[in-house]
Amino acid sequence: MRIRDWIISGLKSVPYYLQPPFINIRIFGEDETKSEGWVVLIYVRKRHDAVYYSALDGKAYQRKGTKTEEIDMMTFLSAVERKRQPIVYIEARDLIFKENSMEITLVFKNIGAKPAMTVDCILGINKSIPVGQKLEGERLVGANKEIKIKNLDRGSPPRFVLLRQDEKEVILETSRIAPFQTPIFPHQDIVTLAGKITLNLKERITEGVLCLRISMIIFTEVNFTQQQCMIVIFRNGKFKQFNILEVRDYLTNRKIFEMEGFLR
C-alpha cells in the first residue's frame, strides 16, 4: 500500500481524475505473502478520463516503443481536449414515502469535465419492488415479499413520455418535451431536474425495507451512460441509492468511465 501511495503521489492529471489509475505491483522474494522482496514490475494502467503528468517535474511523457519522450505543450493540450467529456447520470434527490405510494424527484448530474449540451434519457422501472428486513452492506436481507406498482403519475406538467409498459416494467423517456434545461454543467453541487414521478402501489406498506430498481441509458452529444440503479427506501422516508455506471463514447465504443457503489 505504501508503494501504491508513493506512485499516486507522483501523478497529477488534467482534468483532475475522478478515480485514481489502476496500479499493478509485482513483488518477488522469500515471502511474497508479506510483500517482502524486490519490486520487479510497476504497471500504471491509465483511465480514459484524464491525461497524466509527473508531479515531480510538472512534465508529461509518452511511451513510444522502447523510448519515453516528453510531450510538447500543443500535444498535451490536444490530448486533454480529447479527454474532456460529459459524464452524466441520474440521481434521486427527494423521496416522499407513504404507505401506498412514493414520489421521487430525479435529477441529472454531470461529474465530467465538459457541459452536456444535449441530453436524452430512457428509464425502465421494474414494477416488482422487493421488501426485506434490513440492508447489510450492498445486500437486502430477508427479501421474501414483493410489492407491485399499480400505476404511476408523471407529474404536471409531465417531463416524462410513456413509451410502453407491460406486467414487468414501465419504460419512460425524458427530454423529448421542449424546452429542456440544457446545458448540464459539470459540477458536484449543480443538478438539473429530470422530472418527478409518483408510484402508486397495489397494497399498503407498514414495515420492511423496499428496493426500487431502475435501469437507464442516458445519451449526450458525444457519449452514453448505462446505469443500473437500486434505491433502498426505509420506513422513516430516508433512502440510499446504489449505482452501477458505465460511460462509453459513440465513435469507438471505448469505456470512458465506470463506477459502482452507494452515493454519499
Task: Band the pLDDT of 179: cuts 50, 70, 90.
Answer: very low
Beta bridge partners of 110: 88, 186
Pick the more confident residue, 45 or 123. 123
Residue 173: per-residue pLDDT: 92
**Cell numbers at 204, concatenated:** 399498503
CA 220, CA 151: separation in Å to the nearest integer? 29
| Mean pLDDT across the chain | 83
Residue 7: per-residue pLDDT: 78
pLDDT at residue 73 greater than cutoff 90: no
CB atoms within 10 A of CB 142: 13
Fold held by 88-262? Immunoglobulin-like (2.60.40)
pLDDT at residue 17 greater than cutoff 90: no
Residue 105: per-residue pLDDT: 93
CATH 2.60.40 residue spans of the chain? 88-262
- Does pTM surpass 0.75? yes
- Triad 156, 159, 160: Cα angle to 5°: 115
Residue 116: per-residue pLDDT: 92
Please enumerate in sequence order all residues whose Cβ is within 8 A of that of 30, keeping only pairs 6 or more positions apart, or say none: 36, 37
User: By the 8 A CB rule, do 45 and 24 touch?
Assistant: yes
**Cell numbers at 77, concatenated:** 493540450
pLDDT at residue 146 greater than cutoff 50: yes
At 174, is the secondary structure helix, strand, or coil? strand
